[in-house]
Amino acid sequence: MKQIELNVLSRDVDAVLEFLGRRALLHFSADDNKTTGHSLDEATYRHIRENLDRLTLAATWLKLQLPSEPLESSHFPGEAEEVLADKIIQVVSSLSDRENDQREEKRKVEETLNEARAFANLNAPFSDLDKLSYLTLRVGRLDPRRQEELRQTLSDRAVIIPLGSGDGEVSDRVLMAVSRKGRFALDSELKKVDFSPIAIPEGYKGVPSELLSGLEERLKIADRELEEIGSRREVLKDEYGSSIQSLTASYLMLEIAEQIKVRLTATANVYLLSGWVPADMVQALVADLEKLTEGRIAARAYSPEELDRVKEGKEKVPVSLDHGSFVKGFEEVVFSYGAPLYGTIDPTPLVAFFFTILFGIMFGDFGQGLVLLLLGILTGKRGLPFLRSRFRKFSVPLIAVGISSMIMGLLTGEFFTNEDLFIVPTRMITGFLTGHPVDRILHIMPLPEKGGSVVKLFYFFGFTVGVGALLNSLGIIVNTANQFFLRKYEKALFSKTGLAGLVFFWYALFIAVRFVVSLISPDVTFVFHWFDVLGLAIPVFAIFSGPVLWRLFSGKRPVFEEGFMVFFMEGFVEILEIVSTNVSSTVSFLRVGAFALSHAVLAYIVFRFSEEVAHAPAGSAFSFLILVFGNLVIIILEGMIVAIQVVRLQYYEFFSKFFTETGVEFSPFRFRKKRSEL
């Protein structure tokens, strides 16, 4: 990585940002002490937001889905895009307003029609009744339960006429007539019973049938208008849909650029862009930018060791990992835990290898592994589109663990829990290679009739512990090398995950192996010699007194930085921790054998159950269903459990040795956060 500083003229900054956003090569520096000389252009930003909001409203009315980020083809909007945006927005807004007006008109017509239907049982025109000099009329809504109450209260002072639809149903619409002098008393009582007046439709005249037919015809016209508007909306969606999406993406791109410019150090005429670029891409990037700006750009590049902020630990150099397709598929496992520090060993290849091996050991079945392999292919770049779009990042791991499970299945002789299918080919192969044919190469189930035994099972568990010892050793070796690369020699030499810890771990393993061999072989006797004491004591002493020894060798004073008692307690705790950690992290890999055994037991149960059911009436069908359902449960449920256990072993037993400090993942500036599927 190299840090690059670009001095760009104001007239070129938009073009440079657009270029950098497409190339995705510049990781902006995290410099909290920078002060910018450029404030947000409120008018420009407000114009961008207004256009985005108006385009969003138009898309919502057209029922069109908008992009949430710039598209691959997006570019900053110019004058032509501004004109097109205004045209589309005006056309859509006009039709939208027309629809709103028509819906309001329809609502009024429907309300008037409903009210008019309530007056259908009146024999006299309402206008004539309302003009009577001796009579006051009130028309409105009143709860039918309170109409009788009102009738009793008013007695013979008013006439209450329910206005139903003629079908005998009780209506809440009523017409009340009272003498002119009694209108105040009527109004007073109406307030007490929550009477709600109804506005008589304007121009209500003639017979009710004529009024109803006119309103019904107007309602049909309104429906036809709305239907026409709906058809026009579909035409506009087809005509302008892609343009609205493209314009929205372009304005989103411009909005991001404006937000970026605010964060840049700037004067009235020049912007300073500073960030990290892969070292092998610096020359090509600068050459492209010089061509883009016609030479109006100044660039300087720095190595990480030249920067004080990096040397002082104030800024971390971002890490970009370059892997092949197989190892790249396991980057997610590493980065979900943390990014490696720049300049340290990349653990991803080791993760890819051991993840594949451990999963295969615990999930050994040729048929089930074949299913995982097919899933990996179907989710890959040449697989099914709907699976590829959702699960492509799992494609390579699925292919890898599928193959490893198939290999383990060949060794154990299992095919979809069937233990007999591979017997003949296994006997042929082993007979040809060794002269001693066997039914299966590896026996995990301790069943004598299947060729297994408890002793063979213990051997298998010993193998898994050996794998754990190897992985733990690699973790300590990686950490030791990393500390040397980072020039932290004290941790590299004297820590429990440094050279002293590695020597202690290996010598303890050496003693343990000698002890196990003495148990297996009657001709070997285990004896704890004097050199065993030295082999354990020397690294323990180095770990215990490491801080003091380093301060003594490096000339730092005082030797006991925080006093003797603090030094003694820290050293004592460190010794306890190294013993307990080494034991637990090694024994933890017994779970690999345990899960392999549980997988074999579960497969044996499914297979035996299907065999027993096969002898019953219609047993073949039930046996097939049991095999299908049992294998499905094993693939989904146990497959997930095994994957979790493998990740756990990687995180707690491997990463914990060297991932004491995480770095920063290389995250270059790009307009599109989601990488397009190739």
One-letter amino acid at 616 equals A
Task: Band the pLDDT of 32: cuts 50, 70, 90.
Answer: very low
Helices (H), 521-529: none
Q: Please give the Cα distance from 215 to 204 (Å, whole number).
A: 11
- Of the chain, the percentage scoring pLDDT greater than 70 comes to 87
Nearest to 276 by CA among 486, 19, 25: 25
Q: What is the pLDDT of residue 210?
A: 46
Q: What is the pLDDT of residue 452?
A: 66
**For the chain, the helix, strand and coil percentages under 3-state DSSP, each to the nearest 5:** 65, 10, 30
pTM beyond 0.85: no
Residue 614 reports pLDDT greater than 90: no
Residue 148 reports pLDDT greater than 50: yes
Residue 43 reports pLDDT greater than 80: yes
Q: Are 356 and 400 in contact (CB under 8 A)?
A: yes
Tokens representing 393 are 């990042």
Q: Please give the Cα distance from 7 to 274 (Å, whole number).
A: 9
- Tell me the mean pLDDT in the region 615-644: 88
Q: Please give the Cα distance from 549 to 565 (Å, whole number).
A: 16
Please give the CATH topology (third level) of the domain spanning 120-203. Alpha-Beta Plaits (3.30.70)
Residue with tokens 């995480």, as numbered in its chain:
662
- Tell me the mean pLDDT in the region 188-193: 84
pLDDT per residue over 95-139, tens digit each?
999 999 888 878 776 766 675 565 555 555 555 545 555 556 677
Top pLDDT among 41 and 633 is at: 633
Top pLDDT among 604 and 503 is at: 503
Q: What is the pLDDT of residue 570?
A: 86
Q: Please give the Cα distance from 335 to 423 (Å, whole number).
A: 43
For the residues of 450-475, what is the DSSP string, one character each?
GT--HHHHHHHHHHHHHHHHHHHHHH
Q: Are 319 and 341 in contact (CB under 8 A)?
A: yes
Residue 88 reports pLDDT greater than 90: yes
pLDDT per residue over 516-539, tens digit each?
888 888 888 888 888 899 999 999
Tokens representing 651 are 């995180």
As annotated, the residues of the chain forming the CATH 3.30.70.2750 domain(s) are 120-203
Q: Please give the Cα distance from 289 to 12 (Å, whole number).
A: 10
Q: Please give the Cα distance from 367 to 603 (Å, whole number).
A: 12
For the residues of 272-332, what is the DSSP string, one character each?
EEEEEE-GGGHHHHHHHHHHHTTT-EEEEEE-GGG-HHHHTTSSPPEE-----HHHHTTHH
Q: Please give the Cα distance from 50 to 48 (Å, whole number).
A: 5
- Tell me the mean pLDDT in the region 439-452: 74
Q: Please give the Cα distance from 332 to 670 (Å, whole number).
A: 20
